[in-house]
Amino acid sequence: MKIRNIKIEIEEYENTDSLPKQDREMLTSATQAIDGSYAPYSEFHVGAAALLDNGELILGSNQENAAYPSGLCAERVTLFYAKSQFPDAVVKTLAVTAKADHYEIDHPITPCGACRQVIAEVQNRQEEKIRVIMKGETGKVQVVNGIEHLLPLMFREEKLKRSRSKK
């Protein structure tokens, strides 16, 4: 047995003022996207913005449902819309932020596990890493350059459809 350590890297910024301009603009768009959130059950409104290499800026938000599991997170709404409208476009950056009805979110909102897996699939379909920018309502901002920093040991099976005879 051996212990293997995996290194992940997270950029941390004290606040939005210290962010590169484009990241700041992405967070402004993600904040605007919160307006489209439908979250009467959790009262937790999430906005996301995806910048594509064709210049398109896609906004999305969480969409809940009375049958709870039928709802979808902002990140997946945004990426599924982006890739269905522009299947060949490269997703350069994804920004995520949130606002709760009854308290202040003072820490970065990081994508849930299912959303990380979806971000991974999108990144794996393209050659470029996705820059993920994460912020709450106030407080520090975290940024990763590539989903591997949020999802080490991701499920990525390129041989799913191979037969036993062909290795």
The answer to whether 135 touches 16, Cβ cutoff 8 Å, is yes
State which residue, 27 or 96, has the beta carbon closest to ligand THU: 96
What is the C-alpha to C-alpha distance for residues 4 and 38, in angstroms, rounded to an integer? Answer: 42
State which residue, 62 or 123, has the beta carbon closest to ligand THU: 62
State which residue, 111 or 136, has the beta carbon closest to ligand THU: 111
User: Would you count residue 111 as binding ligand THU (CB under 6 A)?
Assistant: yes
Active site residue 56: no
Residues 23-42 that bind ligand THU (CB under 6 A): 39, 42
Residues 69-98 that bind ligand THU (CB under 6 A): 71, 73-75, 96
**Among residues 75, 127, 148, 158, which one is catalytic?**
75
End-to-end CA separation in angstroms for the chain: 27
Shortest approach of ligand THU to residue 38 CB, angstroms?
8
Residue 141 β-bridge partners:
13, 135
**Each residue of 58-84: b (16+ CB within 10 Å) or e?**
bbbbbbbeeeeeebbbbbbbbbeebbe
- Residue 90 is classified by DSSP as P
Which residues are tagged catalytic?
75
Q: Point out which residues bind ligand THU (CB under 6 A).
A: 39, 42, 44, 46, 62, 64, 71, 73-75, 96, 109, 111-112, 115
